[in-house]
């Protein structure tokens, strides 16, 4: 099975796991609405997964857990009478709740074979018709990732402008968020089955902050992309080698003068990782640092929105698209990062071909 077909199969597996959990909830008597609240999926998505898993039976342990979760709501009566039960239930569920909150952003992916793979980190597309976006480069980069064997993508957020937080920017925009997200949904299809995970940025999260609606999550649920807000720990297994990458949209400790500074803070707060990736600053960056005797790569993409009214107002220079790529080897523990997507794609093809030739000898 090719790596890309394997990635599609893995997505199917995640889909099946969601199906199992929802099935168990349904077995415990939870409504679709409640299942959507508990799982974090949309109601449409819950209904769809349930239909696709209608012939399978729920697991007993989870049914009893979910029954326990439902009891206070069924009990009714005075609110104060429910409090001890509600507290007890919260205590019973705390380990699971905390574990889910910590683990939900860990994405484990295994790749077949031991040939090297490449992961391109793409962010800050700021898709917004009427604004100075490099549309040609946006499309070309996505197609390059789609067409290059062994090359995958992680999206780092701010895919659209979605200027909900700043009324003046929203009024000045030449497109509305709906139009922007529709174009963004089309843009995601350009990657084929090469998108490993989609993260949110601050522009995406304004919908959640202001209205409690995570539009990007709804879009990813609908189109079956793996989504995690804010950040993701990516754990890759290639051959016998394992790698840990931390990708976030933004971080504490940012410095506009020293773009590598935030990675030190990130490593201390959330490390260890071998590759750290941040976006948000709109300036491409690639550097390394040494932590506990090992080299750690620090990557940032640029932005496809070359200029903006905000940039002009604040006196920023025009920006530059950039899409760093990290190579991971399977036959030895080795990471190498590249700042140029086109060149990285050609090098990766050569490396994988050389691996094939070596295997054939």
Interface contacts to Fe ion, rule CB under 5 A: 124, 158, 201-202, 280
Residue whose CB is nearest to Fe ion in the complex, by number: 158
Rounded to a whole number of angstroms, the CA Rg of the chain reads 22
CA-based nearest residue to 160, from 121, 190, 131: 131
The residue among 177 and 201 lying less far from Fe ion, judged by its C-beta, is: 201
C-alpha to C-alpha distances, 124 to 166, 202, 243, 308, nearest whole angstrom: 18, 10, 25, 12
Q: How far is the CB of 157 from Fe ion (least distance, A)?
A: 6
Which residue, 241 or 319, is less far from Fe ion as judged by CB? Answer: 319
Q: How far is the CB of 321 from Fe ion (least distance, A)?
A: 12
Structural tokens at position 328 = 């991971």
What is the CA 62 to chain-centroid distance, rounded?
28
DSSP tally for the chain: helices H, then strands E: 13, 12
Considering only CA atoms, which of 156, 102, 185, 167 is closest in space to residue 278? Answer: 156
Rounded to the nearest 5 degrees, what angle is found at the Cα of 222, between the Cα atoms of 186 and 280?
60
How many other CB atoms sit within 10 Å of the CB of residue 83?
11
- Compute φ and ψ for 157, nearest 5 degrees: 100, 170
Nearest-approach distance from CB 185 to Fe ion, in angstroms? 19
13 three-state secondary structure: helix
Most distant CA pair in the chain, distance: 77
Q: How far is the CB of 287 from Fe ion (least distance, A)?
A: 20
Residue whose CB is less far from Fe ion, 23 or 280: 280
Q: How far is the CB of 204 from Fe ion (least distance, A)?
A: 9
Q: Please, how many CA atoms are within 13 Å of residue 46, restricted to the half-sphere of its CB?
A: 20
- Name the DSSP letter for residue 160: B
Which residue's CB is nearer to Fe ion, number 231 or number 280?
A: 280
Question: Looking at the chain, how many residues does it have?
Answer: 361
Residue with tokens 């950039």: 322
Q: Residue 158 or 274: which CB sits closer to Fe ion?
A: 158
Q: Which residue, 7 or 122, is less far from Fe ion as judged by CB?
A: 122
Q: Which two tokens stand for residue 149?
A: 């064997």
Q: Which of 314/357 has CB closer to Fe ion?
A: 314
The minimum distance between CB 182 and Fe ion, in angstroms, equals 19
Q: How far is the CB of 249 from Fe ion (least distance, A)?
A: 6
Among 153, 148, 151, 172, smallest CA distance to 161 is for 172
> Which is nearer to Fe ion, 124 or 134 (by Cβ)?
124
Q: Which lies closer to Fe ion via its Cβ, residue 13 or residue 209?
A: 209
Which phi and psi (to 5°) does residue 281 adopt? -80, -15
User: In which element (H, E) is residue 288 found?
Assistant: strand 285-291
Q: How far apart are CB 310 and Fe ion at their closest, in Å?
A: 10
Task: Please state the closest distance from residue 281 (CB atom) to Fe ion, in A.
Answer: 8
């Amino acid at each position: 099975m090719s790596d890309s077909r394997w990635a599609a199969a893995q997505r199917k597996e995640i889909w099946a796991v969601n199906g199992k959990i929802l099935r168990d909830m349904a077995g415990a008597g939870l409504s679709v609405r409640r299942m959507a609240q508990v799982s974090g999926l949309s109601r449409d998505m819950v209904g769809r997964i349930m239909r696709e898993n209608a012939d399978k039976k729920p697991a007993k342990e989870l049914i009893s857990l979910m029954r326990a979760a439902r009891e206070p709501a069924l009990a009714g009566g005075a609110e104060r009478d429910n409090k001890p039960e509600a507290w007890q239930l919260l205590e019973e569920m705390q380990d699971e709740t905390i574990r889910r909150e910590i683990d939900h952003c860990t994405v484990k992916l295994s790749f077949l074979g031991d040939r090297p793979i490449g992961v391109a980190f793409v962010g800050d597309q700021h898709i917004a018709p009427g604004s100075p976006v490099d549309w040609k480069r946006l499309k070309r980069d996505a197609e390059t990732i789609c067409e290059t064997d062994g090359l995958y993508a992680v999206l780092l957020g701010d895919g659209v402008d979605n200027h909900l937080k700043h009324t003046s920017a929203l009024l000045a925009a030449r497109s509305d968020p709906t139009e922007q997200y529709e174009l963004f949904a089309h843009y995601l299809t350009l990657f084929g089955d090469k998108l490993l995970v989609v993260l949110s940025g601050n522009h995406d999260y304004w919908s959640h902050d202001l209205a409690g609606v995570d539009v990007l999550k709804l879009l990813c649920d609908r189109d079956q992309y793996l989504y995690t807000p804010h950040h993701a720990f990516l754990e890759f297994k290639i051959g016998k080698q394992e790698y840990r990458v931390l990708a976030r949209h933004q971080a504490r400790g940012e410095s506009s003068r020293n773009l590598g500074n935030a990675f030190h803070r990130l490593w201390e707060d959330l490390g260890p990782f071998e590759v750290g990736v941040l976006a948000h600053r709109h300036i491409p960056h690639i550097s390394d640092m040494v932590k506990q005797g090992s080299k750690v790569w620090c990557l940032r993409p640029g932005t496809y929105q070359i200029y903006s009214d905000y940039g002009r107002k604040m006196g920023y220079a025009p920006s530059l698209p950039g899409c760093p790529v990290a190579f991971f080897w399977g036959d030895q523990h080795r990471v190498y990062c590249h700042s140029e997507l086109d060149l990285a794609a050609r090098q990766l093809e050569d490396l994988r071909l050389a691996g094939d030739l070596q295997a054939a000898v």
